[in-house]
Amino acid sequence: MNALKRLAVAVLVGSAPLIAAHAADYPTKPVHLVVGQPPGGPTDIAARVFADKMRAQIGQPMLVENKPGAASQISIQLVAKAEPDGYTTLFGGLALATLPYLSKSYGIDSIRDTTPISMIVSLPTAIAASSAMGVKTLDEFMADIKANPDKRFYGSMGATDYLIMMAFKQAAALPFDTVRFNGAAPGFQAMFAGDVQFTYTTVGILKPLADQGKLRMLVVAGKTRSKLAPDVPAMSESSNPQIRDLGNNVFQIGWFGLVGPAKLPADIVDKLYKSSVTVTRDAEFVKRMSEIGLEPIGNSPAEFSQRLRDDLVNWQRVTKQMNVQPE
């Protein structure tokens, strides 16, 4: 063994205890939590409440950094390329599963380049129609659209929501048109003005408006009803097999979770996971999430990783069926 090789081995062997010590002492400085949405919305609020609660668990501040843009692509890329030292984390969502099939410039392998730590919250979503549309059930809603071809307009408020509704349109053969909005506020303004008749977004946003009688939630995404709107049927309850299939495979409940870069040390993953679960069981956290329409989860790294893998497979299938090309 020459001198250079001996030096390299000595450095590697000598650094091993330091790496282990680093993981054991982690964190020794603030941890950054990158959020792909702008300040003020439900996701940002959830991230800030979570970060505030995490401080007591990890003994250091968790600092929220908003990095919006490109449908969360900027935030994902930033964290995926960060050092795997546990000090740069992501409050990442379903974009991790959809962007590989929607964006040419994504450049990230959502499995290989990240470390899922724990799913923090789920986002129940629903189709809602304006009160002026006068429909009370999903069947009445679809019948109305078919009876008024190209006269009913869907107000799209997000890229993933748009993709889901296009799959719904195709499967149910519904002749509606789409108006895309940059956020919920202009979308609802257009709905209440009569420019669009329905939308698809989170139950947390829809419920206060439904309680005021301004709109009606017709069906929630996923296989089960939402705890936040237990009277609204799940899509999987439909008597139409195509609609049930959509409910089971396309209209999935959204989520946000704690994600790190690839090769994050196991001790750091374990500490962040256990701390996250404690936060999601905290009574005040549960209450705050309910107020903004989110449901705490707190699953394991293995469960979160499997969910991400399942969602990637599902969205690959959906985008292929719809002939969606990355842009």
Tens digit of each residue's pLDDT (9 = 90 or more) over 17-68? 444 445 679 999 999 999 998 888 888 999 999 999 999 999 999 999 999 9
Looking at residue 2, what is its pLDDT?
A: 53
DSSP state of 132: G
What is the pTM for the complete model shown?
0.82
pLDDT tens figures, 125-143: 999 999 999 999 999 999 9
Res 175: pLDDT: 97
Domain spans of the chain, in order of start: 29-123+253-321, 125-249
Cβ count within 10 A of residue 323: 7
Supply 52's token pair: 């505030």
Fold matches, 29-123+253-321 and 125-249: yes
Q: Per CATH, is 29-123+253-321 categorized as 3.20.20.120?
A: no
**Architecture, CATH, for domain 125-249:** 3-Layer(aba) Sandwich (3.40)
3-state secondary structure of 238: coil
Amino acid at 124: P
Output the six-digit token pair for 39: 């300040």
Q: Which two tokens stand for residue 280?
A: 């999601």
SS3 198: strand
pLDDT at 137 (0 to 100): 95
